[in-house]
Amino acid sequence: MINRRNMLQGMAAGVGAAFGASLLPRQASAASSQSGSPKRIVFFMQNQGFDPATCIPTGMTSSGSLAKAKLPEPIEALEPFKERLHIINGLHGIHTSPSHSAFFGALGGYRGSDGVPPSASTIDYELSKALPQTLLPHLCIGMDSIENMRTKPTIANLSASGAGQPIFMYSNPNQLYQMLYGGISTGDIRRQHEARSGVLSQIEQMAAAKGRSLPIADQQRYGQYVQGFRDVNGLRDRLDTASDHLRKFAPAVDERYTKPEFETDWHDVLLDLGISALTSGITNTLTIGSGRGEIFGAWKGLGIEQQGHNLGHMTQHENPIWIKIRQYNSRMLVRLMESLESVPEGSGTMMDHTLIVYTSNNADKQHTNGANWPVMLLGNCDGIFKTGCFTQLDGKRPINALYTTLLQVAGQNVDRFNMDDKLAKKFDAATGPLKEVLG
């Protein structure tokens, strides 16, 4: 039975995502598919910081191979994948003023703060334009407590398509499933998809008509509102035309969607949906926000009763709570890699042309100044990135340098990302890519 109130709530969430201009980015030339160029990139952002002691093998104080090293307990699930792993310590994000979180600044490489809109686009969005074009170039999913995911099914804290243009993360897997696969579903999911689509089409027409009667000064701003509905409806139509292909990749809907016991049930199915969007070719850029870029988050399904801000006040190193959270993340990374490895692509697999970037939206810890911003890379994109190693940097290059590197390997001719000469003179000791990560 279709409940009008629930349908409108879901519709509002979908339209909210459209306001972020995330659903149908502007057309851009596809990146070269030459050997070594990434075809897709995944960003996994854990909130509350990333203590380097939870990822750097004991005794490693300088750059070197991971071949004979034993990975720390929090990331031990990655031990079989060490040859694909690159641990980086010593980047900084002082200029982002992270404190509790850098919010949009974590992926934007600029000053960020709670409630402050983005001042420029973020690296994940810029890469989505540079990589080979897909139906939905950029998808963001956000994981939080079950209460927060239900009451705020979409939220914008990490990604942006430009100044003042946030991209919303999907946190309710039922709404994300309906957006991606509603057109190929049956039963209530299909009926809800059709009803919602009809309402959105009507609202687009009504909004367009209403906008023409507004004063000139308001028409441009209102036009962005109308365009949001057009983007949603356009994406729906495009996904419907690819229904035969998408049917092979749609995850099975079970009670974890409708009757989750813990928030980790929704975390797991959100990851399933993100993986399916990658393997089906719906998207080429996936951003995962564990904690949704804020200071909250919950993992009761792991046996952790503490949640939210309190987790950030705990030491992460050798803390059983944070070991569980980081191990859970590591298992998610393994699922990502194994899923992409199972799909042939070219002379190899999808994982051969994928880069996974794991870090935090808050540098090394809560209440940080951002002087150290640990990062893990997984995948080498046919040898373009170094793997199987640990790199210790001197703290003089910002996270922007890593983002510049990603843009360059995606075919973009840039020497800096979101950092002008004045800012670079103060916060960056060099120009161009981070050569230490390249093969």
- CB of 86 within 8 A of CB of 387? yes
Note the pLDDT of residue 217: 57
Tracing tokens 């922007």 back to the chain, one arrives at 400
Order of all β-strands in the sheet with 375-378: 64-65, 389-392, 85-89, 375-378, 354-360, 40-46, 285-290, 138-143, 165-170, 154-162
Cα separation, 41 vs 283, whole angstroms: 10
What backbone torsions phi and psi does residue 198 show, to the nearest 5 degrees?
A: -65, -40
- CB of 355 within 8 A of CB of 381? yes
CB neighbourhood size of 208 (10 A): 16
Note the pLDDT of residue 22: 34
- CA angle, 76 then 107 then 396, to 5°: 80
Contacts of 175 (CB under 8 A, 6+ apart): 10, 13, 14, 153, 154
Cα separation, 208 vs 282, whole angstroms: 28
Q: How far is CA 86 from the centre of its chain?
A: 19
Cα separation, 387 vs 93, whole angstroms: 23
3-class SS of residue 55: coil
Note the pLDDT of residue 191: 56
Contacts of 28 (CB under 8 A, 6+ apart): 129, 130, 133
Note the pLDDT of residue 215: 60
Give the length of the chain: 439
Note the pLDDT of residue 18: 33
Note the pLDDT of residue 137: 86
CB neighbourhood size of 404 (10 A): 26
Q: What is the DSSP letter of 163?
A: T
Tracing tokens 């810890």 back to the chain, one arrives at 365
Cα separation, 177 vs 165, whole angstroms: 24
Note the pLDDT of residue 196: 54
One-letter amino acid for residue 302 of the chain:
L
Note the pLDDT of residue 236: 65
pTM: 0.85
| Token duo for residue 79 | 């031990």
Cα separation, 316 vs 326, whole angstroms: 9
- CB of 249 within 8 A of CB of 272? no
DSSP string, 5-49: HHHHHHHHHHHHHHHTT-SSPPP-PPPP--TT--SEEEEEEETT-
Give the gyration radius of the chain's Cα atoms. Answer: 21
Note the pLDDT of residue 4: 35
DSSP-derived pairing of the beta strands 85-89 and 389-392: parallel
Task: Give mean pLDDT in consecutive 10-residue pieces for the chain, a chain of 439 residues.
Answer: 37 35 32 62 98 97 97 98 98 94 98 94 97 91 97 94 92 91 62 50 54 56 51 67 83 94 98 96 96 95 93 94 98 98 94 97 95 98 96 98 97 96 96 96
Q: In Å, what is the CA distance from 194 to each residue of 183, 185, 237?
A: 8, 10, 11
Cα separation, 291 vs 169, whole angstroms: 11
Cα separation, 232 vs 395, whole angstroms: 43
Which residues face 16 on adjacent strands?
none
Q: What is the DSSP letter of 438?
A: B
Note the pLDDT of residue 12: 36
- CB of 429 within 8 A of CB of 396? yes
Tracing tokens 């509350």 back to the chain, one arrives at 48
**At how many degrees (to 10) do helices 173-181 and 187-211 cross?**
80
Q: Which helix (H) or strand (E) holds 124?
A: helix 123-130
**At how many degrees (to 10) do helices 320-341 and 263-279 cross?**
30
